[in-house]
Amino acid sequence: MGDPQKHRILMVSDFFYPNFGGVENHIYYLSQCLLNLGHKVVVATHAYGNRSGVRYMTGGLKVYYVPWRPFVMQNTLPTFYGLLPIIRTILIRERITVVHGHQAFSTFCHEALMHARTMGYKVVFTDHSLYGFADVGSIHMNKVLQFTLADVTQAICVSHTSKENTVLRSGLPPEKVFVIPNAVDTSMFKPAVDCPRTLEEIVIVVISRLVYRKGVDLLVEVIPEVCRLHPNVRFIIGGDGAKRVRLEEMREKHSLQDRVDMLGAVPHAQVRSVLICGHIFLNSSLTEAFCIAILEAASCGLLTVSTRVGGVPEVLPDDMIVLAEPDPSDMVYAIQKAIYMLPKINPQAMHNRMKELYDWHDVAKRTEIVYDRALKCPNQNLPERLSRYLFCGAWAGKLFCLVMVVGYLLWQLLELWQMISRRCWISLFHTTVMKKYWKIHNDIDGVFWCTAEGANH
């Protein structure tokens, strides 16, 4: 067999470094491994503060920080066509073959994929989250996702539960959706072998954004009860968010200042130093497609207690995690069960198992197969693509078609403008060069003529 095909990939999302989170880590580690496999990888995201323009990261990863300011929750303001000129420039300048968008909540991702399909590029989309079907926000987001994925080449989900959720929300054919899990950098997250942990004091670690979706309201009820039942248990909570006030109020109400440490926001580089201080990692999320934090904790040798939601049951083997319903009493029981299991836990053995189970190089190779399959998909003309959008709804389908037609016309207008501008610049260049040439030529003739006249005289 010949060498595998090399791709030139553009990763697009609103969420990337210096912001920290699961999507940001996924894009960075996947890009680094794809670079190691010999592919060209470029990242496009919006500007973060003063970080604007082109930057280079480890391994020669090129990042375009587009001067587009975030509007809400690190998302850019949706403009439909505002990103078309700069996305077109990046695609042509970097000679991109595949555009890979991340996260359904990213407006930057949706617009970039729309413009890439308009220009005839193959696009791949990765969904990192789960969404419902009842509340207003989910209904709106599901319709946007249906619009974006109506013409996507291939899609990736991080768990089988996430795949089922994405197929139901977007109407995408299941055969177009691949399941490729997240991974963990086990060289960064490893147990502290120099100072073995004792069980005289049991430390439970919580590291997450302190928001409603992460189940902070559950923690407010669980922590006091666990502290009452087990006097030797202490909690370390890392993270920040709108619900942090509730945790601080709980700590004051039950006088747990010496047993509940609030660390605030923890930089990703310092997460390991917090994890190795604990014995149990507690995840109380109400919805979760995969949860990379569980992988990081298990790689550091912590036994995990988590709510049985979304794709969490798929992440770890049964002997490495204790699952509970998102109910305070059931979570307290699960923590008690985990405390009794602690003497049997070998942190180093758990770390070695994680090295075999989750590897970013394996994720990159599986993603490479998706790219190969995307490039083999036949190209479709505009009428064939528009027919896909018509099936998105009686009124929404027609609106989506109108959006794509206007986008196509703007792209053609931009192509025409670029062609005219290029010809004008070439004409101006030739005119300027020829003028300089004739001026130099005349000056040389004048010198020769004067020399000849002088010689005659």
Asked whether the predicted pLDDT for residue 244 surpasses 90, the reply is yes
Whether 68 shows a pLDDT value over 50: the answer reads yes
pLDDT tens across 351-384, in order?
Answer: 999 999 999 999 999 999 999 999 998 887 777 7
Question: 242 CB contacts (<8 Å, ≥6 apart)?
Answer: 210, 211, 212
| 401 domain-assigned | no
pLDDT of amino acid 452: 43
Q: Which residues are registered as beta bridge partners of 64?
A: 44, 54
Could you read off the pLDDT of 198-231 as tens digits, one per residue? 788 999 999 998 989 899 999 999 999 999 999 9
Note whether 91 and 228 are same-domain residues.
Answer: no
253 and 329 belong to one structural domain: yes
d(CA 192, CA 272): 9
In a domain, 341, yes or no: yes
Q: For residue 94, tell me if it sits in a domain.
A: yes
Percent helix, strand, coil in the chain (nearest 5)? 50, 15, 30
Same domain membership, residue 342 and residue 367 = no
Assess whether pLDDT exceeds 60 at residue 301.
yes
Q: Do both 216 and 293 map to the same domain?
A: yes
My answer on whether 137 and 245 are in the same domain is no
Query: Does residue 18 belong to any structural domain of this protein?
Result: yes
Can you give the CATH number for the domain in which 313 is found?
3.40.50.2000
By residue range, what is the domain housing residue 129? 8-183+362-379
Look at residue 68 and tell me if it is in a domain.
yes
C-alpha to C-alpha distances, 107 to 111, 113, 268, nearest whole angstrom: 6, 10, 25
Q: Which of 310, 345, 379 is the last residue of a domain?
A: 379
How far apart, in whole angstroms, are the C-alpha atoms of residue 29 and residue 183? 9
What average pLDDT score do residues 238-265 get? Answer: 93
Largest Cα separation within the chain, whole Å, is 120
Asked whether 352 and 27 are in contact (CB, 8 A), the reply is: no
Q: Does 137 score more than 90 pLDDT? A: no
pLDDT tens for 403-456 read: 889 989 999 998 888 888 777 766 665 666 555 555 544 554 444 444 444 444
| Residue 417 belongs to some domain of the structure | no
pLDDT greater than 90 at residue 146 = no
User: Once rounded to an integer, what is the mean pLDDT over residues 290-301?
Assistant: 92
Asked whether residue 368 falls in the same domain as residue 337, the answer is no
Mean pLDDT of 122-139: 83
- Residues 30, 173 within the same domain: yes
Question: Final residue of a domain: which of 316, 348, 379?
Answer: 379
Position 274 in a domain: yes
* pLDDT of the residue at 426: 67
| 195 located within any domain | no
Same domain, 27 and 171: yes
Question: Are 266 and 335 found together in one domain?
Answer: yes
Of 18, 77, 22, 69, the closest CA to residue 43 belongs to: 18
Mean pLDDT, range 247-276, rounded to an integer: 92
Among residues of the chain, what percentage have pLDDT more than 70? 91
- Where would I find the H helices in 231-327? 244-253, 271-275, 292-299
What whole-number distance in Å separates Cα of residue 290 and Cα of residue 311?
Answer: 5
Q: How many domains does the chain have?
A: 2
State which of 379, 410, 435 marks the end of a domain: 379
Based on the domain organization, do 155 and 265 belong to the same domain? no
pLDDT band at 267 (very low <50, low <70, confident <90, very high): confident
**How far is residue 145 from each of residues 29, 362, 390, measured CA to CA in Å?**
25, 28, 15
Confidence (pLDDT) at 13: 95
Please tell me whether residues 58 and 93 are part of one structural domain: yes
**What's the average model confidence in pLDDT over 84-102?**
95
CA distances from 58 to 32, 35, 228 (A): 8, 10, 48
**In terms of domains, do 132 and 214 share one?**
no
**pTM for the full predicted model:** 0.85
Q: How confident is the model at residue 86 (pLDDT cuts 50, 70, 90)?
A: very high
